[in-house]
Homo-oligomer: A and B are copies of this chain.
Amino acid sequence: MTTEKLVSEIRKKHSFLCVGLDVDLDKIPSFLLNEEDPIFSFNKAIIDATHQFAVAYKPNTAFYEAYGIQGWKSLEKTIKYLNENYPEVFTIADAKRGDIGNTSSRYAKAFFEDLGFDSVTVAPYMGKDSVEPFLNFKDKHTILLALTSNEGAFDFQTKKVEDDEVYKHVLKTSKNWKNSENLMYVIGATKAEYLAEVRNIVPKSFLLVPGVGAQGGSLTEVCKYGMAENIGLLINSSRGIIYASQEANFAEVAAKQAEKMQLEMKTILDGIH
């Protein structure tokens, strides 16, 4: 998907919501466990109920890998279902991969070509030649971890390296990589004031923002500091939406939660136009 198409979907749906599909068999409604593929059944119901309020879906691959072959089958079915039924949504494989060049090429092929995701999250630690193989795919996006939303973000990412914090150094360095126009960045919402500094370095890039809601970040603050001319934000919510209810009407309740966030987003978008 092109960035222009993503922006146009955001404007059409008045939403920059990304729903995180972090499926845990211990947390989904127990009656689904009788289904042949409970994970896919859950995802399908959530997607069908929430797609009008969301522009993106983000399965975190760890939750699928944890169920072995069966989990990978559920992941394959989920991305296929999205691509066939809702080709207008932006899909993110939250895989946090990154390896030496020829190995990163393998991951890129797996996520972009074989599975058909629009984007994949990638860790920056191994540098340029570990990320560029991902950037090599037309209309596919590489979402580089810059400043994450967890406690451990302060262990390395915010340490001073040369004149900058590590995460700023990552942002600046990555701009010089080949096909860097295919880069987006993960910037945690728990530190909204950092978003202004991020915007000084990457004024137009899309930012995938976890940590609003469950992890304590505020949507208004994130938009205040992080919104760009082309919106440039995807706000992720996982648990707050998909596990809002464990009852028979779980999908309906999830839709209500998604709609609530979408309405907040609409208010913000209306306010800036």
Contacts and interface: CB of A to CB of B under 8 A. Distances in A.
A76 B67 CA distance: 12
A118 interface: no
Contacts of A153: 126-127
Contacts of A159: 161-162, 166, 169
Contacts of A69: 69, 72-73, 76
Interface string A69-87: 1001100100000000000
Interface of A: 22, 60, 62-63, 65-66, 68-69, 72-73, 76, 96-101, 103-104, 106-107, 109-110, 114-115, 123-131, 145, 148-157, 159-162, 166, 169-170, 173
A1 B263 CA distance: 53
Given A127-B156, A155-B173, A159-B162, A62 B106 contact: yes
Contacts of A103: 22, 60, 62-63
A149 to B, nearest CB: 7
Contacts of A126: 96, 123, 145, 148, 150, 152-153, 157
B150 A161 contact: no
A48 to B, nearest CB: 25
A156 B156 CA distance: 11
Closest 10 CB pairs of A and B: A127-B152, A127-B155, A62-B106, A66-B106, A129-B152, A100-B150, A161-B161, A128-B152, A159-B161, A62-B103
